[in-house]
């Protein structure tokens, strides 16, 4: 399953570098997104490095999910593809 990294999880003045909001292909409701909680995600950098994470919760009502990563994810990851296992 594939998704697109949409944004960092952020507030008005803060940005959490190891939490990302992901839009998953084919998921359009919060009920479908909740079923993905606990699945692993992998982002591959252009250099071949992999950063692993895990889906922690649904985000909003349109099917986006929130993923926690082991380390911070670089800004170049925005709008790139991510693999959901």
Please give the chain's pLDDT, 85 residues, in tens. 999 999 999 999 999 999 999 999 999 999 999 999 999 999 999 999 999 999 999 999 999 999 999 888 999 999 999 999 9
Number of C-beta neighbours around residue 78 at 10 A = 13
What distance in Å separates the CA atoms of residue 43 and residue 79, rounded to the nearest whole number? Answer: 12
Full set of structural domains in the chain with CATH: 2-84 (2.40.10.190)
What distance in Å separates the CA atoms of residue 60 and residue 30, rounded to the nearest whole number? Answer: 7
Quick one: pLDDT at residue 22? Answer: 96
Show Cβ contacts of residue 36 under 8 Å, excluding neighbours closer than 6 positions.
Answer: 24, 27, 55, 65, 84
């Amino acid at each position: 399953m594939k998704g697109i990294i949409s944004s960092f999880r952020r507030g008005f003045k803060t940005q959490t570098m190891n939490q990302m909001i992901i839009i998953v292909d084919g998921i359009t409701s919060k009920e479908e997104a909740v079923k993905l909680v606990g699945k692993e995600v992998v982002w591959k950098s252009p250099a071949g490095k992999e950063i692993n994470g895990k889906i922690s919760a649904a985000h909003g009502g349109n099917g986006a999910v929130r993923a926690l990563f082991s380390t911070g994810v670089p800004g170049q990851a925005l709008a790139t593809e991510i693999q959901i296992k």
